[in-house]
Amino acid sequence: MGHRLSKIVTRTGDKGETGLADGSRLPKSAPRVAAMGEVDELNCVIGALLVQPLPDDMRGPLARTQHELFDLGGELSLPGAVVITETQLARLEAELSRLNEALPPLKEFVLPGGNASAAAAHLGRSVARRAERALWALHAQEPLNPCAPQYLNRLSDYLFVCSRVLARMNGGSEVTWQRA
């Protein structure tokens, strides 16, 4: 494979525009560019989660998720492309179900925290929800692959279940909401 980026400073965005994979240019304030940025930020948060202590059976699926998020960013950068499919949705749902089996039913709302790993998963959950909203906002202006925002919805659910599992590591517990 050749070099993808030979020059990092290009100055092509200095006037408030960015290039898409099809060669077209959009204002950096465009909903598509905002959605791409939200997905990129989510990928960064997943990367930060992956450097935390995690069970081995969670690390692989999260690493796979990073690649799928990069795929999703590519899909967004090429209008009309479809990369995220029912396959990725099914994978997330299966992982979510597997992790959720061992958890007790929820009796209260769960607050972010418990330990650094659980808090990082909660941060990922909230960023996934924001990215999902950005994709739905873009979809309101121009049709998207419906699996793309659905993927982010499933991912936020998956990260919530991850946070519940991670909070219990090493004898820990979740932080539950109590009315003030």
Which pTM was predicted?
A: 0.90
Residues 6+ apart with CB under 8 A from 96: 154, 157, 158, 161
Q: Assess contact for 148 and 76: CB atoms under 8 A.
A: yes
CATH code of the region 27-176: 1.20.1200.10
What is residue 63's three-state secondary structure?
helix
pLDDT at 11: 65
Q: What is the pLDDT of residues 121-168, one digit of tens each?
A: 999 999 999 999 999 999 999 999 999 999 999 999 999 999 999 999
Helix residue ranges, H only, the chain: 31-50, 56-77, 86-100, 116-141, 147-167
- Domain spans of the chain, in order of start: 27-176
